Structure 1
Amino acid sequence: MNKLILGLGALCLVAFTSCKENAAKKIEASNVAAAAERDASASKFPVIEFDKKEHDFGEIESRAAVETTFSYTNSGDAPLVITDIKSSCGCTVPQDWSREPLAPGASGKFTVKFNGSGSNKITKTITVTANTEKGSEVVKITAFVKPDPNKAKPTS
């Protein structure tokens, strides 16, 4: 039994020692340099900066269509790709943004249209999904929608 344990121990020792030597010989300097460069660039993200994070339309008539433009700049170290822009409801429609990568330092814009639905003070959010470190940014529109004078008032 002792001979069997001693034999297995010697075999394991030889196997572990030979694997270590072979693995060390397989490392190439070019692969190490490529991995270091890849890891350094993986920590670089685009950063989206807006000219404004909120737009107030002020007082608007009920059902009056209004629109605004949000401008943004890529102040990061990698190309910015906006994959989607969605609003919190169907009455607010974001459109006209570029799906092409935006180089660091370059600027872009998108338009948001609001159809004037609702009443009194309204706030709608627009979520911009991009390849930033956070993954998404939020901008807002606000307005005070006047009551529709043609809408029938309830009778008592």
Structure 2
Amino acid sequence: MKKQILFLASLFVITMTACTNDSTKKTEKNTASVTTSQEKKNAEYAVLSFAENEYNFGTISEGDIVNHKFSFTNTGTVPLIILTAKGSCGCTVSKWSKKPIAPGEKGEMLVTFNSNDKPNQQIKQVTITANTKTGKEILKIKAMVTPKTRTVTSATPVSK
């Protein structure tokens, strides 16, 4: 009887050890397969690499219209296609090439800021929709806008 129990216990230990090693190997294979699949998916995106993501115009006068060109490179492996570039308000306008930008090629995006009726500190952003991994990229512009001097009209005195 002792021999049978010893035999069954040994068989149980061998079975459990064999299952553990086999499942570990399967998990490693699945993980490697998923990693390779993710790497392939990552390689299928354009990468919009800007020289700078933010620009400060410094101090400007209210009513000034200022421009800045943001330079970028497509460091991805597929052509970059910029679908839209929208400002956070009507005061920012973007201009860019509508043609696809091949991997390794450079491009520019012109951002214009109209400070009319925008006194004091201004922080605006341009949201770019493109075929990048996240699908959206953001540029920021800043300016300290010196307000226009406004004339105050005095009220006419009331007659007694």
Same structural fold, with TM-score higher than 0.5 when normalized by the shorter chain: yes
Alpha-carbon offset, residue 119 of structure 1: 1.2
Percent identity between the aligned chains?
Answer: 40
Q: Secondary structure at the match of 1:140?
A: strand
> 2:104 — aligned with what?
105
Q: 1:72-111 CA distances to partner (integer Å, 9 max, x unpaired)?
A: 100011111001110000011112x111111111010011
Equivalents in 2 of 1:104, 1:129: separation in Å? 17
**How do 1:103-142 residues align onto structure 2 when only pairs under 5 Å count?**
103-117=102-116, 118-142=118-142
Tell me the matched-pair count.
116
- The answer to whether the 8 A contact 2:126-2:138 is kept is yes
Change (3 A) 1:49 1:43: closer
CA deviations 1:46-87 (Å, max 9, x no partner) are 110001100100000010111100111000111110011100
Shift of 1:41: 6.8
The aligned amino acid for 1:109 is: E
Residue 143 of structure 1 pairs with residue 151 of structure 2 = no
Larger deviation, residues 42-51 vs 98-107: 42-51
Q: Give the letter aligned to residue 103 of structure 1.
A: A
User: What is the CA–CA distance in structure 1 between the aligned matches of 2:122 and 2:154, rounded to whole Å?
Assistant: 26
Aligned residue type for 1:121: Q
How far apart, in 2, do the equivalents of 1:51 and 1:107 lie?
Answer: 10
1:141–1:76: structure 2 CA closer, same or farther, 3 Å change rule? same
AA in 2 matched with 1:63: G
Q: What amino acid sits opposite 2:94 in the alignment?
A: P
Q: Which position in structure 2 is the counterpart of 1:47?
A: 47
The alpha-carbon deviation at position 155 of structure 1 amounts to 6.9
- One-letter amino acid of the counterpart of residue 129, structure 2: T
- Aligned pairs for 1:6-155 (under 5 A) are 40=40, 43-95=43-95, 97-117=96-116, 118-149=118-149, 151-153=150-152
Q: CA deviation at 1:152?
A: 2.9
Deviation at 1:43, TM superposition (A): 4.7
CA shift, 1:154, in A, is 8.1
User: Is the 2:42–2:133 Cα contact (8 Å) retained in structure 1?
Assistant: no
TM-score by length of 1: 0.69
TM-score, with length taken from structure 2:
0.67
